[in-house]
Amino acid sequence: MTDASLESKVALVTGAARRVGAAIARRLHAAGANVVLHYRGADAEAAQLEKALNAARAGSAVKVKGDLLAPVAPKALVDAALQRFARLDILVNNASAFYPTAVGEIELGHWEELIGSNLRAPLFLAQAAAPQLALAGGAIVNIADIHAERPLKGYVVYSLAKAGLVALTRSLALELAPGVRVNAVAPGAIAWPEDGQFEPGERERIVATTPLRRTGDPEEIAQAVHFLCTAPFVTGQVLAVDGGRSIFL
C-alpha cells in the first residue's frame, strides 16, 4: 500500500511548461505538492501553468527559466526550490531533446544537445539535489524511453542517451540509497513530436504494433510518476508505460 498524498512535499519538474512535463506538474500538484516549474523557452505556457496552479492553491507553484546545459543550472534550480519552499522532496528529470541522427550525419552539436539534455543534466541535477532529497527521504524519477532498451532506427544518439539514463537510474539507486529512491518511467508513443518527425503512415504502423492499439496520454505518464514518488519500497526500477509496445519490438 502507498500513501498517494504529497501534501507538504516540494517537487522540481524539468521541462514542465508543456506536454508531458506539464501533465506531471499538474498531477503532483493535485496530490498536494508544491511545484517548481522549470522551463527553457516556453515563457507563455510556463506563466499560464504557474498562474493556474497558484489559483488552485495560493503560493504553491513557481516557474524558473533556465538552460539545463549551462554549468550553473543544476545548483541554480535547487537553490530556487529552497529559496521559495525551503525544502526539496522530489526531482523529476523530464526535459529532453528528441530528433533523428542517422549514421553519417551525426555532428558534435547533436551529441552535446542530446546527451546533454537526456543524460548529463539529469546526472548533475541529481547530484545537486541529493543532499536535500536525502534530508526529506525523497525520490528521483527520470523520464526514459522504451528505445533505451530497443533502439529507434535513425535515432542513434537519442537512443544511447536514454540507455545511459536508464543506467544512471540504476546506478543512482545504489549510490543514494537508503535516503533517496531513484526510478524511471519509460514511455512509448505518448505525444507525437510537433515537428512532423513521424509521417502519418509511420504513426499508424506504431499504433498497429502496440498491443493496446492506441497512443498513450501524458496523464498516464504523470500517473506513473506519481506512483513512483509515493512507492516506499521501489527503487532502481524502470516502469514501461507504452501500451505493451516494448514486448512487440
Q: Confirm if 195 and 154 have CB atoms less than 8 A apart.
A: no
Q: Which residues are catalytic?
A: 158
Number of H helices, E strands in the chain: 9, 7
Distance of alpha carbon 166 from alpha carbon 189, whole angstroms: 18
For 184, the 3-state DSSP assignment is: strand
Of 5, 2, 44, 45, the closest CA to residue 21 belongs to 45
Q: Confirm if 31 and 25 have CB atoms less than 8 A apart.
A: no
Locate the DSSP E strands across 67-190.
Answer: 90-93, 139-143, 181-187
Furthest CA-CA distance within the chain: 52
55 Cβ contact list (under 8 Å, min separation 6): none
